[in-house]
Structure 1
């Protein structure tokens, strides 16, 4: 499992959503790496996971951004743009993935890029939100 306890930021709703994102992404990675599925089965499983992620990140990012606004987070605009870029990247991958036969290189490249983004974003950028809220600088 990719999720680690040190990725928690101390905001229960966000931590639960992060854990769900990491669980789903972990499932995605397992399918990509598996030799137990045909390419067609892999494509179907990956499509289902990407569909879920496309929907879930909207819910999660909205919740996270509401918390930022509530606490006057000073880096809201940059954080919001990072979320928009991630959603765009996910949508671009889905479009590219659906219009061709199963492409192992595309899937491997995407999974590595998204995994890196998720870990770095949660460990660094989201932690800054928690630090801001915890510091009392949220009036």
Structure 2
């Protein structure tokens, strides 16, 4: 089942929205592979993408938050760090034990949860705060 991009996921910061769309494309490719019983082959590629992606994307996002003096920057950073830790743990697990159905399910669930909860809730706060700052400026 593919997850379509919803306008509700847009936070209104072009660079960040583009990166979020990229993540969704990757998530859908991975889900598609899982549905075709090819999740195991695709998991390493997906984890590698995530490692590179999180470095670039979280860097961009944190830069924006610093620029606007976002009050919840520390909490947001913690969530980013937790996500990276989970990706690295999954990668270690795959290296040590190989891929299992459980790892593919875990990665799938983690990405879906991140997309739905983090982007549509936490990242939205950045845009809301930014707009509020513009309103008071």
Q: Same fold (TM over 0.5)?
A: yes
Equivalent in the alignment of 1:49: 46
Alpha-carbon separation, structure 2, partners of 1:84 and 1:91 = 11
Over aligned residue pairs, what C-alpha RMSD do you find?
A: 1.7
Under a length normalisation based on structure 1, what TM-score does the superposition of the two structures give?
A: 0.88
What is the rounded CA distance, in whole Å, between the counterparts of 2:66 and 2:16 in structure 1?
Answer: 14
Residue 91 of structure 2 corresponds to 94
Q: Whose helix proportion is higher, 1 or 2?
A: 2
Contact residue 14 and residue 64 of structure 1 kept, 8 A: yes
Residue 132 (structure 1) shift? 0.1
Contact 2:40 2:104 survives alignment (8 Å): no
Cα distance in structure 2, aligned partners of 1:97 and 1:21: 21
Residue matched to 2:118: 121
Query: What TM-score, normalized to structure 2?
Result: 0.90
Number of matched residues? 134
Contact 2:40–2:100, Cα closer than 8 Å, also in 1: no
Match of 2:107 in 1: 110
Bigger shift: residues 107-116 or 123-132: 107-116
More displaced 10-residue stretch of structure 1: 124-133 or 113-122: 113-122
Give yes or no for the alignment of 1:5 onto 2:7: yes
Which structure 2 residue ranges, 5 or more long, are not aligned? none
